[in-house]
A and B are shown apart, each in its own frame.
Chain A
Amino acid sequence: MSPTIKPAIVSDLGHAVGPARAPRDAALAIHGLTVSYSEKPAVFSVDAAFSTGEISAIVGPNGAGKSTLLKAALGVIPRLSGEVYVFGDTLRNARARIGYVPQSASVDWDFPTTVLDVVQMGLYRKLGLLGRLSGQGRAQALECLDRVGLADFANRQIGQISGGQRQRVFLARALAQDADLLLLDEPFAGVDAATERAIIGVLKLLRKDGKTVVAVHHDLATIRDYFDRILLVNVRRIAEGPVATTFTTENLQATFGGRLATTHLSELAIMDDGH
């Protein structure tokens, strides 16, 4: 990134190409990211910037590459092209500042471990290989569990709790990482209403502390209540911006195509008017 690059001009391609350069204060800036598993891109040339202190949503149909985008941003899967900056720094340098909540299906729930153990995994990076897990570390893990309302379940095996509770454990683990940027993959998928309230409560508290939250989200009905910004993707970036101006029927239609029932869209449009 040479400093002489002129600022992004308004693209003559509509939304197809993003800003040449993310704002300085972006917590997570992605440039021209392309990832593919086979002979078809799962994510193509996506640019995005998520600003500090906001809760942002990544929205798109199933198979749109949302999880792939997150994983590539974290360096978990290799990218074909593109660059990722975290708080203006490279991924390698900023790794300690990122927390991650994977999609819950990606884990072996039969693994012999307890809820508290899993939360303590969030401390592993700080502990290094041989650092001892102090009583303080334990207390910290327990406190994170308490914040998601699961303190009483600390000693259960991870497979013996409900889906919503598992999701909370993952969130508690990310909290234990004490990260400035939290990436969550469908944290509300398949959870009960109580868990959903608990999770969004925690996320909003994080925002109050100046943390940045980016979540893949699938429920269009709650976007307005939960999020400040939104990135619409379907392999390519469709639109990005504040929820108020970007979460529009046209953009949704462009993202979901025929997949989104028109009735659903008009419902959302009504909500649109209500605001």
Chain B
Amino acid sequence: MSLFVEAFFLQAGYNATLVAIGAGVLGFAAGASGTFPFLRKRALISDAVAHATLPGIGLAFILMVTFGGDGRSLLGLIAGSALTAWTGLLLIEWISRRTRLTEDAAIGAILGTFFGAGIVFLTVIQGMSAGRQAGLEGFLLGSTAGMLFQDALLIAVGGSLAVLVTWLMRRPMTIVAFDSDYAMTLGYDVRRIDLLMMGLVLSVTVIGLKLVGLILIVAMLIIPAVAARFWTDRSTKMIWIAGCIGGASGYLGAVLSASAPAMPTGPIIVLVAAGIFVFSLLFAPDRGVLVTLFRHRGFQARVHRRQGLLALAAHHPIREAYTLRLLTREGLVRPDGVPTDAGRAQAAKIARDERRWDVAREIYQDTGLTGRYDGLTPIEDVFTADEIAELDHQLGPPVTARTE
């Protein structure tokens, strides 16, 4: 526990500190730049982008070694991975635009093929000169062991740039994500903006490769954005919320993994993010599952109650057992379906409202008002008291509930 506190306050050693800061910044950048692809319903392109970095890493290594370099130069590897990932992106776009294949098929095809090619290159490297390739497998799942200051610097600079560009371009990206046809009529170059969105994802992916690996970086690009969606309906706010969720997961995950042995950083970060996501899914105030289920049950009860009262008002039998139970529980009918006095009174009120609606719909030919004649909306929600009084006037004197 004390190790956790130490790590949390960055007192657990130089490497742990670098990792925690790096993971926090990376998480923030990933959350922010993952927001728009998610809103554009293309979250999984980032999966393809991430997998398509592998052949680039392999190729870059082979090239650098062939020309006498070190082969493990981070910038070289990043350049290579960015190049193949970009190629993959363009191919996905080309396939889904030019052929009858849908985008998801294109994503899967590019992902599988590029990753396969990447594995081929990795095995080529294994054959080239044993020992020198050490570390490339680290790009699959990430490794924090050998994190250098320059690695953290790369994440800090690259991540900040990605956040900055996301923020600067938030308006065009919002419009394109919301309604790309409309964006086109406004003169936006939708294709370019799409590529920019994915370009941001790509940059975050390549700078995060070494730390969390290409499979788990996908989680950092998707999960914070999905979690953030539960807390706001505004895209600009979502950038920041997703960023904070991502940043918190990165930092906490790194701290947790530093405070116990045999806790791999990447998976812990992802699981922290997933925890935040599950919490949001369940407990978010408006879109959360619990609230939604509760609301749905309430809604169902309202429908049945209303239908039951309508049946009472019309002197029809109540057909459904659930309706009967509901009204019985409220003391509106006896278990044999005969209405009580309270039930009669409520039914009379509903009958009166139905008549008021009939008159209202004749007077107001306005669908904005009459469109709310859906059986559930109380008439008092739609018309003012004096308007209702006027309706009553046209209806004539109130008919008391028939109690024959």
Contact = CB atoms under 8 A, between A and B. Distances in A.
**Per the CB under 8 Å rule, do A and B touch in the complex?**
yes
Nearest to B310: A17
A79 to B, nearest CB: 10
B375 A81 contact: no
Interface in B354-383: 354-355, 357-358, 361-362, 365-367, 370-371, 373-376
Contacts of B376: 40-41, 44
Interface in A169-226: none
Nearest to B352: A13
B191 interface: no
B236 interface: no
A56 interface: no
B343 to A, nearest CB: 16
B329 interface: no
B402 interface: yes
Q: Which DSSP category, helix, strand, loop or mixed, fits chain B's interface?
A: helix
A227 to B, nearest CB: 24
Contacts of B402: 12
Contacts of B313: 12-13, 17
Contacts of B323: 81
A74 B357 CA distance: 30
A36 interface: yes
Given A257-B367, A257-B370, A11 B314 contact: yes
Given A80-B303, A258-B366, A13 B319 contact: no
A72 interface: no
Contact of B317 (A5, A11, A14, A236): A5
Contacts of A32: 307, 311, 319-320
A45 interface: yes
B299 interface: yes
B387 to A, nearest CB: 17
Contacts of A253: 362, 365
A36 B303 contact: yes
B365 A235 contact: no
A254 B354 CA distance: 14
A44 B303 contact: yes
Nearest to A262: B365
B315 interface: yes
Contacts of B365: 253, 257-258
Nearest to A32: B307
B104 to A, nearest CB: 13
Contacts of A1: 319
Q: Interface residues of A toward B: which range? A: 35 or more
A234 interface: yes
A129 interface: no
Contact of B316 (A14, A20, A234, A254): A20
A87 B1 CA distance: 71
Interface string B62-106: 000000000000000000000000000000000000001000000
Given A81-B323, A254-B361, A235 B317 contact: no
A110 interface: yes
B295 interface: yes
A258 to B, nearest CB: 4
B362 A45 contact: no
Nearest to B320: A81
A31 B358 contact: no
A44 B320 CA distance: 15
B355 A17 contact: no
A273 interface: no
B367 A258 contact: yes
Contacts of A234: 371, 373
Contacts of A41: 303, 374-376
B322 interface: yes
Contacts of B375: 34, 41, 44-45, 235-236
Nearest to B375: A44
In the complex, the 5 A-B pairs of residues with the closest C-beta atoms, listed nearest first: A44-B375, A17-B314, A258-B365, A257-B367, A20-B316
Given A34-B375, A81-B307, A81-B322, 14 more contacts: A14-B355, A16-B310, A16-B357, A32-B320, A34-B307, A39-B299, A41-B376, A45-B375, A80-B303, A81-B303, A234-B373, A257-B371, A258-B365, A258-B366
24 contacts: A8-B316, A12-B313, A12-B314, A16-B357, A31-B319, A32-B311, A32-B319, A34-B375, A40-B376, A41-B376, A45-B306, A45-B310, A61-B367, A81-B300, A81-B303, A83-B319, A234-B371, A235-B373, A236-B373, A253-B365, A256-B367, A257-B365, A258-B367, A258-B370
